[in-house]
Amino acid sequence: MSKPNSKSEFIGIFGGTFDPVHKGHTEIIKNLFELIPLDKVIVIPNGMPPHKEASVSSEERLKMVSSAFKNIDKVVIDDREIKKKDPSYAISTLKELIKENQEHSFIWIMGSDSFAGINSWYKWKDFLKLVNIIVMIRPNHEIPEDSEAYKLLHKSHTINKASLSSGTEKIFLLKIRPIDITSTDIRNKINEGEDVSNLLLEEVNELINKRNLYQ
């Protein structure tokens, strides 16, 4: 429900499988706060991701995400997709958040690898009409020139950072500190018995070891 007379906030939405969450994820958000004047970021672990299958339960991933972000100011963990029994579609989550927070403005945060496949998202054209997007440029993840994403950039790209807190359908490319860590690499390393403690937050690493996840 909207709160009367509450201050309008500029809120980032950062969803992901987080399988597992790692230092790259937390550093991205810290860097984001340095570069974009966000009042807070809502981190949303996917429950049943439509595009990929998670390796561990959604509850385990929620615990890891909660541990990883608990010491970062202005980050809120949202478990709505974890609670759902249906696939987690970005447009459904976005519509819910907009309805619940009508006095606030939102911006969707994603990596360039996700954005490159935006046309595979459920009702992606409708999704884009509802929100502005920050695309974080990751090393070695160029957006192919023959893709829908590239056409979208040509049409909707903005360099005006101040304009992002109002309106919709703007896409802002953000160069973040390059962190070459992926959840896939971490899962493979754990499965092969390698030490990944330098890539994970301490509590996340302890949780993975304690529960023998990704073995």
Q: Is 197 within the bounds of a domain?
A: no
Q: Is 208 within the bounds of a domain?
A: no
Q: In this predicted structure, which of 49-58, 85-94, 114-123, 130-139 has the lowest mean pLDDT?
A: 49-58
Q: In this predicted structure, which of 10-24, 41-55, 183-197 has the lowest mean pLDDT?
A: 41-55
Q: Is 14 within the bounds of a domain?
A: yes
Boundaries of domain holding 170:
10-179
pLDDT of residue 90 exceeding 60? yes
Q: Is 198 within the bounds of a domain?
A: no
**In CATH, what number is assigned to the domain containing residue 163?**
3.40.50.620
Mean pLDDT of the 64-93 span: 93
Q: Is 195 within the bounds of a domain?
A: no
Q: Is 190 within the bounds of a domain?
A: no
3-state secondary structure the chain: CCCCCCCCCEEEEEEECCCCCCHHHHHHHHHHHHHCCCCEEEEEECCCCCCCCCCCCHHHHHHHHHHHHCCCCCEEECCHHHHCCCCCCHHHHHHHHHHHCCCCEEEEEEEHHHHCCHHHCCCHHHHHCCCEEEEEECCCCCCCCCCHHHHHHHHHECCCHHHHHCCCCCEEEEECCCCCCCHHHHHHHHHCCCCCCCCCCHHHHHHHHHCCCCC
The structural domain count of the chain equals 1
pLDDT digits (tens, 9 = 90+) for 126-153: 999 999 999 998 777 788 999 999 999 9
Q: What is the pTM of this model?
A: 0.91
